[in-house]
Amino acid sequence: MKKILLLLITATFALTACGAFPAQAPQPTPIPPTPQVIIATVLVPVEVTSVVTAVPLPTNTLVVAPSTEVPPALPPATASTELVPVTGGPIAVDPKFNGQSFEKITVSNNKFSLNCSPKEITFDVYSTDIYIVRTDMYYRIRDRHSNDIPSWSIAGTMDTDGLNHFWMTMKGEGVPPDLRQAQGAFDFQFIGLNKLGNVVGRSEKITDIVSYTINC
């Protein structure tokens, strides 16, 4: 009897335990997540150092740069450039003074004076422009001991053969008193005019060819 009661108790306990803890269904195997690749850009500061390489300069080397300065055609005359008197001309003037409208410029002397011989000088020129029917001569006398540059004055209208030849004789006493210089450089220029009186050509300013003095 005790054995039967023990079996009933045991069976009852077993049924009760089965009702209290129901059987669980098997869980699926978890799938691991796909790994994500993360690319990170890291900026690393770079310090730039300028390197200057010293280049030694050559020693005892003379470098001469070409000069761009254009010297004047003729520098102002000074006392040291005073001309030695020449007579018995004619004396040909350098063609570089011709300009575009004149040629064959000559002077009878390279010096004339108020009180000393020679006291006069003759200027001679030919025009190359067929429209030039008249030529006027201008001049200025620069003091050889001064840097002052005087204004130009007209000497007059030159004589002509009616073609292309012009000439003029100028006397030392013909220079106005206020223009005379004891030791002067006589600069001159020829101006060509047409029949209407318009300037159509001119020579260059002719300098340091003729001297003018008051006394010997």
Q: What is the pLDDT of residues 174-209, one digit of tens each?
A: 999 999 999 999 999 999 999 999 999 999 999 999
pLDDT of residue 67: 43
Helix, strand or coil for residue 103? strand
* Count of the separate structural domains present in the chain: 1
Report d(CA 188, CA 97) in Å as an integer: 10
pLDDT for the residue numbered 70: 40
Q: How confident is the model at residue 85 (pLDDT cuts 50, 70, 90)?
A: low
170 inside domain: yes
The gap between the terminal CA atoms of the chain, to the nearest Å, is: 186
What's the pLDDT score for residue 191?
Answer: 98
Identify the CATH number of the domain in which residue 154 sits. Answer: 2.60.40.1940
Quickly tell me which residue has 């994500």 as its tokens.
36
In a domain, 13, yes or no: no
Give dist(CA 207, CA 186) in Å, integer: 7
> Mean pLDDT throughout 59-79?
41
As a whole number of angstroms, the distance between CA 136 and CA 147 comes to 27
- Whether 38 is in a domain gets the answer no
Give a yes or no: residue 60 inside a domain: no
Task: Note whether 166 and 60 are within 8 A (CB).
Answer: no
Q: Is 95 helix (H, G, I), strand (E, B) or coil?
A: helix
* % residues pLDDT > 70 (the chain): 59
Asked whether residue 66 is domain-assigned, the answer is no
C-alpha 52/C-alpha 55 separation (Å) is: 9
Domain hosting 184: range is: 79-213
User: Any bridge partners for residue 91, and if so which?
Assistant: 107
Q: Quickly count: other Cβ atoms within 10 Å of residue 69's Cβ.
A: 4
Q: What is the pTM of this model?
A: 0.60
More confident residue, 43 or 206: 206
In a domain, 191, yes or no: yes
DSSP string, 35-93: PPP--------------PPPPPPPSS----PPP-----SSPPP-GGGPPPP--S--EEP
Residue 102 is assigned to a structural domain of this protein: yes
Q: Is residue 50 part of a domain?
A: no
